[in-house]
Amino acid sequence: THKFQKKKSTSNQAAAQNRQNMKYSSIAISLSLLSVSVEGFAPSTNFSPRANVLKAALSQPPNSRLYAASGSHAIPPKEDEVERLRVMAAKLREEAASLEQEQKQVIADAAQKVFRKFDLDGNGELSLSELKKGLEKMFKMEIPQSRAEKLIEAFDANGDGSLQMSEFVGVESLRNKLDTIERQEQDKVREQVQQARAAEEAAELSKLQMELVNDKPPTATDKVVSILPYLFPLVDGLSFARFFIEGNQDNPLAVAALVTYGLYRSIPFSGFLSFFAFNFLSENAKINKLVRFNLQQAVFLDIALFVPTLIAALGAGAVQAATGSPISPAAAEIGSDAMFLTLLAAVGYSTVSSLLGETPNKLPFISQRVEDRMITPDMFDADGNFAPFDEDGNLKKGTRKENERMDD
């Protein structure tokens, strides 16, 4: 310590000398600038006695000005002064390097002493148990096994599961690493707690949403009720079966279809009433999902019947305009029968799937549009309010995979 303080005092003296030299240089620069200002006056200018003395001093060479201002009469050469400063700087660097080397040696000696103290069996390496026991004794604290293992992994350069002297970094570094490991474990625990809390909140929200939206598996009653909406497009589609009914008036099925169609048409605005009723019921989230889906799909099937009717009417008008005669009855009958058979196939598939408890979502162009309009649990917020749109203003909708998983 005495040697370090002595060297430090020497360094302080050298720094003071450097500051004094810089001060003299500043004075010389100021005097030079003032010399330019004074010599710029006209010769006839009358100066005060103090100014005349200053002007006389400025007429001397720069080195003479510097040392005259500092009270020194010796004027050492400029090159010698620079060389002296360089030598002094080199000496200071050597002293700093020496002190640094001494400090490293002290740290290394201390680490070696602790290493020998921890090395209970004296085999030249620290095992996991030896390191753990040594640190616990020194820090007077219990170190978990997991932290001791992480400590070994952090400094075990060759990966042999123990620490050699070349890998031992000292007690202070080990303590810092232990603190880092502890903070990481605490951060991980906090993250796990947050994730568990988020999962619990998500489970509560899902439970609330499932109570608001009936996406449960359909009961036997739900399955039977879910096929009734398909009577709406089926009765509307009987108009395409007129050729079959006219040619089979003795067939009980044809007679039943004719009577049903007549009763349906006898009700004023029957089509509009059915359309609005089905739409209204399909938006009731308390109704089972299968029933709501079939209500919407029945509406879409009925709307789809309008497209071929329009195409047939436009096609017949175009043929008549081009040929001057209406479309042949045979062609009209084939088109109507094909349309009615397609409707029967769609209704039959939907009915069988519904009775089996499966959502009939395989109809091309139609089923996907129905699913996009279905009310899903994620359309309700944590307070139970209906919020069908997300932050970007897009309609929330569950994917088909999620819907199928809920059905299962």
Q: What is the pLDDT of residue 78?
A: 64
CA-derived radius of gyration, the chain: 50
| pLDDT value for 71 | 47
| Residue recorded with tokens 């030896």 | 130
Work out the average pLDDT over 63-76.
46
Distance CA 255, CA 261 (A): 10
pLDDT at 297: 94
| 294 vs 272: which has the higher pLDDT | 294
* List of residues 6+ apart from 259 with CB closer than 8 A: none
DSSP 27-47: HHHHHHHHHHHHHTS-TTPPP
What are residue 395's DSSP bridge partners? 389
Q: How confident is the model at residue 331 (pLDDT cuts 50, 70, 90)?
A: confident
Is residue 351 helix, strand or coil?
helix
Tens digit of each residue's pLDDT (9 = 90 or more) over 84-135: 888 888 888 888 888 888 877 777 788 888 888 888 888 888 888 888 888 8
Spatial neighbors of 373 by CB under 8 A, at least 6 apart, are: 282, 296
Amino acid at 53: V
Model pLDDT, residue 247: 73
Q: ∠ CA 205-379-232 to the nearest 5 degrees?
A: 130
How many residues would you count in the chain? 408
User: What pLDDT does residue 43 have?
Assistant: 42
Structure tokens at 234: 């089926």
Looking at beta carbons, which pairs linking 21-28 to residues 24 or more positions away fall under 8 Å?
Answer: 21/81, 21/85, 24/66, 24/67, 24/69, 24/70, 25/66, 27/66, 27/69, 27/70, 28/62, 28/65, 28/66, 28/69
- Over 70: is that where the pLDDT of 356 sits? yes
Check whether 166 has a pLDDT greater than 60: yes
State the pLDDT at residue 77.
Answer: 60
User: 3-class SS at 386?
Assistant: strand
Distance of CA 245 to the CA centre of its chain: 64
Longest Cα–Cα distance of the chain, Å, equals 147
Q: How far apart are CA 338 and CA 368, in angstroms?
A: 24
398 pLDDT higher than 60 = no
Highest mean pLDDT among 10-19, 37-46, 154-163: 154-163
* pLDDT exceeds 50 at position 406: no
**Inter-CA distances, 297 with 50, 68, 289, 335, Å:** 111, 109, 12, 23
Q: Running DSSP on this structure, what letter comes out for residue 59?
A: T
Helix ranges, 40-77 (H): 49-58, 62-69
Cβ atoms of residues 289 and 359 within 8 Å: yes
Distance CA 349, CA 357 (A): 12
C-beta of residue 296 within 8 angstroms of C-beta of residue 370: yes
pLDDT at residue 391, rounded to an integer: 61
Q: What is the DSSP letter of 125?
A: E
Where does the pLDDT of residue 208 fall: very low under 50, low under 70, confident under 90, or very high at 90 and above? confident
**Can you say how many angstroms the Cα of residue 90 is from the centroid of all Cα atoms in its chain?**
55
pTM for this structure? 0.48
Q: How far lies 250's CA from each of 232, 237, 241, 256, 344, in Å?
A: 25, 21, 15, 11, 21
Q: What is the mean pLDDT of residues 252-256?
A: 75
pLDDT mean over 239-248: 77
Nearest to 359 by CA among 235, 221, 208, 215: 215
What digits encode the pLDDT tens for the residues 339-349?
889 999 999 99
Highest mean pLDDT among 3-7, 195-199, 236-240: 195-199
> Is residue 163 classed as helix, strand or coil in its secondary structure?
strand
